[in-house]
Structure 1
Amino acid sequence: MNKSFKIAAAFLLIPIVFICRASAQNIDPIVKTDRGYIKGLNEDGIAVFKGIPYAAPPVGPLRFNPPVEHGVWKDTLSAQKFGSVATQNAGKKVIGSEDCLSLNIYAPKIDHQKRAVLVWVHGGSMTAGAGKGENGHAFADKDDIVTVTINYRLGVFGFMYLGDLNKDYATSGNNGTLDCIMALSWIKHNIVAFGGDPNRITLMGESAGAKLISAVLVSPKSKGLFQQYIAESGSVQCIRDTVTARHERLRVLHAMGKGRYDIQTLLKLPADSLMKAQGIACSGIGGNSFFGPVADGVIIKGDPYQYAAGKNMPRIKALIGTNKIEAALFMAGDDPLQHPDTGILRSLFGEDYPMVYKAYQLELKTNAPYDAAAKVLTQYMYQMHSYRFAKVLVQNRIPVWMYRLNYDKASNLGAAHAAELQFVWNNPGLASSPDMVKKQLATNMHKAWVAFIKTGNPNGGTLPQWPNYSNDARQIMSYDSTSKAIGLKEIYDDKNFPSAVFVLKGNN
């Protein structure tokens, strides 16, 4: 073979090599889990696995019961489509399925790098939403973070307390909490196969998601399953006592128009019937506060603040915050809520409403009705509880960073509830926004969250310096037209208001 022929042959082989590499990059990834092999997708250059079951379907006799391990599958399981959303009301329709316990993984690369892991728990008043509501590509594609989004049981299936009817169902009010813990356990045991580090897991949620992960945090059963916690607009204020939880169940059953129900009857009722009754019980603004985890003495032992202050509290790192005018989202188009009377406040706060009404009347002396309502509702629904929890964590020598979204043009409602999500998840739509402040907010917030997830500290690079929160200096990161750390002169706290936002007593 002469020299010229060898050179020509070499050039002919070059395209073949590139073709092989390109084909390898486009092959759908297959990973082995502890339950069997799963096949995902090559999506936008990364490996994505959708609808992975992390527990057995909670149906039939497993309804209202804690999640149990999924059985082993023999053939490779397809993980190329999102699993069903949890059963929920969507207007006049019931959507989803009780067979909903699945998660989605966005893996930058299937290797042994042991990347930081983000686990997202969605919001939706604990009655709506799904893990697929946020796109894991936001943190996986460019930030090299293994991102997991999960589904959990909602409403009556996730949080209806039956422990007073039958001790075998003592933890039924925490099924949604236990789903989250089961998902974390699955991730802890399997994430290495997806290029993730089981010892660098950050649990993040917003609104009901933040409240749920706070309940998870103060449950001894979650200890060791994650190392960091990001709570956006939510804390332990969703945890209710068993009396409140029992009365909530009675409201749902009363909405069915029949008498008493035993466990066996509830197990056999069609999901649509339960959802219809739930829709009636949760109608109006009060539905935002109706469901939540329960201090059942088993999963959540008691007062969440006492646990957070104790020696058994996990040594996590925490990033916690709220938005300036959270309540604006709920007040939009709701005239009664813009001028709340005792009836409206009772639907939101149950027996706690007189304290909120008193604060509102006092605020009316110096503020217009809308501004007074927005301020007081924001304080009692969100801000007060986030700062209370941060205070206890700091006292227990747990590192905490606090933020507040203050930018008045964050949305058409101002710095309202959920307005921070577009910035944290670096919404692609912001790239075409003429608002340069919004673009900078997205850069600052997303990069700070990434830094925290990867290093346990939200500082780095050119980001505004963000000091640890202390109960003396009370420095927080203010995300505004100019983002910077500020010290709060005072923090509102109604000492008489209990840890739970919603409380029912007596014959409610």
Structure 2
Amino acid sequence: MRIFASLTVLAGFIFPLGSAIAQDTTEIVQTSLGAVQGEVVDGVENFYGIPFAAPPVGELRWAPPQAAKRWEGVRPATDFAPSCSQRDGLDAPRSENEDCLYLNVQRPAGTAAKANLPVLVYIHGGGFFNGSANVENLEKLVRDNNIVGIAINYRLGSLGFLAHPALTAAAGESGNYAFMDQQAALRWVQENAASFGGDPKAVTIAGESAGGNSVCVQMVTPGSKGLFSKVILQSSRCGGSPPVGKAEQTGEKLAAELNCTGSNDEILACLRAKPVAELLAAKTVTTERATGTAFLPTDPLVALQNGDFTKVPVLVGSQSDEGRSMIIDWRKKHIPEYDREGYIKFVRDRFGEDADAVLNVWPWPSDATRYTGTYLVASLRYANTATGLGQCATNDMTNVFAKHAPTFAYLFSHQSGPGWFPVEGYVWGASHATDLAYLMPKRPSPGVNSNEFGPAERQISDEMVRYWGAFIKNGNPAVEGQVAWPAYTAGSGPILSIRGPADAVPIPMAALRSSYNCEFSAYLATK
């Protein structure tokens, strides 16, 4: 029996997790590469640190993921594997480890092989330069819905996205290694889900922020067809992917900064010999998704608009106040403030000749409080329907999905839950990544901490987990005894606004777009 510490430390923060006790070891599970044995905690069997691809080191740095080696005997799966290389960030501490292509499996205790339970594969967010599967604790989703949950790592930053002419010359294409890792993990799931009691024909891929963006990529890349049957996208965007030639220019800039010059072979040898610490210290960092390649022929948003994607049921949504967490300095626990003059200066500096029109659409109110300017600036930073993370961009994407597949849209809008840290007078609202704490209450993060939930938040969490579970099982988030969640019709809606406990209401598309000034935002996006 292994006792877990009641505190966890992450990126300098300490979070109480309760006194979870490992009750027993699991049955041995035979995977395609060897046997693993995990542990049982709070009614869930956990198998951590299972390799799905070979370590991407040496000549495999900036190469498609290769098959992992088999192992003999039983591999203990009771401890997390390292996160992928990254600077110290919001969801994971600094790591210089390149041997990181591992995943974690969670299933209800007692699940038998070939039980044919639905499978959720979760792709973490973090802007493509931070994050880890080890943060995404799917325990409540797994236990409450009787499903199998799998969280995956993938290469980040320049190690996951570098495109360079030398790499292209050597392999025929370059870039997108992070998405290739995700695809390799999905192929592992197809081979091994049944051994853990999952149904490989009932796989939902889900992600938030960069994780949701990854879901978009997997929906349009030809190699991922047939690897999943439903998708969930939370606070994410699908556009903004440059042609590979432009991405290669960024790669050339990085190589020059690292003093890697000469022939293609010399440049590659130099880049692959660089210590991870030097790559992480570089000013040039690329997370660009290179399009026009065999792996990713077309920008994902364009492919979606053309109907060229895997058409499966979609659950998609955003937060009502996305920018209120993204505008802060979470390291210093600082929230910028704008008085009336400061707000007007921000608008004029950012929008130039359109400033007066912006101030007319987003005026300074007569009942302003200390943080009114902060709320306005946070909204304006995401007023971009082309590439933004806000409600308008999400609705544009939702309309595209709904033309081709069963689609269910939501807006998480609970206003009175806990924020990232206590600030007198600041209303966090439903800011970016807030919904993660409700779906994964044991998720350790400097963001919203579920230990601060009151009865209302705990009920919302229960209801959201049931909605998500119903969709994972049936492709429809219908839950008996909860507010009905209608399917979305392109051009009209509705969007289910999740406002509070037993307080969800379907709102028409027109009401949402009016509330967030989407048509004016669309105009700004063209400037």
> How do 1:178-189 and structure 2 match up within 5 A?
178-189=180-191
In 2, distance between residues paired with 1:420 and 1:272? 33
Is structure 2 residue 104 aligned with structure 1 residue 97?
Answer: no
Aligned to 1:370: 374
Question: What is the rounded CA distance, in whole Å, between the counterparts of 2:178 and 2:139 in structure 1?
Answer: 25
CA 1:292 to 1:205, structure 2 compared with 1: closer, same or farther past 3 Å?
farther
SS across alignment from 2:36:
strand
Unpaired stretches in structure 1, ≥5 consecutive residues: 1-24, 283-289, 346-352, 502-508
1:193-342 matches, within 5 Å, as 193-253=195-255, 255-256=257-258, 262-277=267-282, 280-281=283-284, 291-310=287-306, 312-332=308-328, 333=334, 335=336
TM-score, L = length of structure 1? 0.82
Matches of 1:468 and 1:33, distance apart in 2 = 38
Deviation at 1:473, TM superposition (A): 2.0
Check if 1:484 corresponds to 2:505.
Answer: yes
Cα distance in 2 between the residues matched to 1:36 and 1:126: 30
Q: Which residue of 2 aligns with 1:39?
A: 37
Select between 46-55 and 362-371 the one with higher mean Cα deviation.
362-371
Q: Pick one of 116, 134, 143 that aligns with 1:141.
A: 143
CA root-mean-square deviation: 3.2
**Residue 496 to residue 224, structure 1, CA distance change in 2 (3 Å):** farther
Q: Could you tell me how far 1:343 is from its partner in structure 2?
A: 12
Quick one: distance in 2 between partners of 1:123 and 1:495? 26
Alignment check: 8 A CA contact 1:46 1:106 kept = yes
SS at match of 1:70: coil
Q: CA deviation at 1:415?
A: 1.0
Equivalence for 1:459:
478
Q: Contact between 1:176 and 1:293, CA under 8 Å: does it hold in 2?
A: no
Q: 3-state DSSP class of the match of 1:166? A: helix
Write the letter of the residue equivalent to 1:464: V
Asked whether the 8 Å contact 1:363–1:372 carries over to 2, the reply is no
The answer (yes or no) to whether the contact 1:464–1:483 under 8 Å persists in 2 is yes
Aligned CA distance change for structure 1 residues 208 and 75 (closer, same or farther; 3 Å): same
Q: Which amino acid aligns with 2:504?
A: S
Tell me: CA distance 1:323–1:265, structure 2 relative to 1, closer, same or farther (3 Å): same
Distance (whole Å) between structure 2 residues aligned to residue 229 and residue 67 of structure 1: 23
Task: Judge conservation of contact 1:319–1:402 (CA < 8 Å) in 2.
Answer: yes
SS at match of 1:173: coil
Equivalent residue number for residue 17 of structure 2: none
- Aligned-pair distance for 1:462? 1.1
* 2:403 alignment partner AA: Q
What residue is the counterpart of 1:349 in the other structure? none
Deviation at 1:39, TM superposition (A): 2.3
Paired residue for 1:11?
none
CA contact (8 A) 2:166 2:267 kept: no
Paired amino acid for 1:121: I
CA, structure 1 residues 434+319, in 2 after alignment: closer, same or farther (shift >3 Å)? closer
> Matched residue of 2:175: which SS?
helix
Higher helix share: 1
Change (3 A) 1:265 1:254: closer
1:438 matched to which residue of 2? 457
Residue 469 of structure 1: how far off its partner (Å): 1.0
**Aligned counterparts, 1:90-169, within 5 A:** 90=88, 94-108=94-108, 109-163=111-165, 166-169=168-171
Conserved? CA contact 1:158–1:175, under 8 Å: yes
Structure 2 segments unaligned to the other structure (5+ residues): 1-22, 329-333, 366-371, 420-427
Identity, % of aligned positions? 26
User: How far 1:44 moved relative to its partner?
Assistant: 3.1
Q: Tell me which structure has the larger Cα radius of gyration.
A: 1
Q: Which one is further off, 305-314 or 167-176?
A: 305-314
Describe the superposition over 1:126-155 as per-residue Cα deviations: whole angstroms up to 9, x where unpaired: 111100102122222232110101110000
Q: Of the candidates 400, 418, 423, which is equivalent to residue 438 of structure 2?
A: 423
Shift of 1:420: 0.8
Distance, in Å, in 1 between the alignment partners of 2:470 and 2:56 is 37
User: Alignment partner of 1:483: what SS?
Assistant: strand
Give SS of 1:393's match.
helix
- Most deviating of 222-231 and 377-386: 377-386
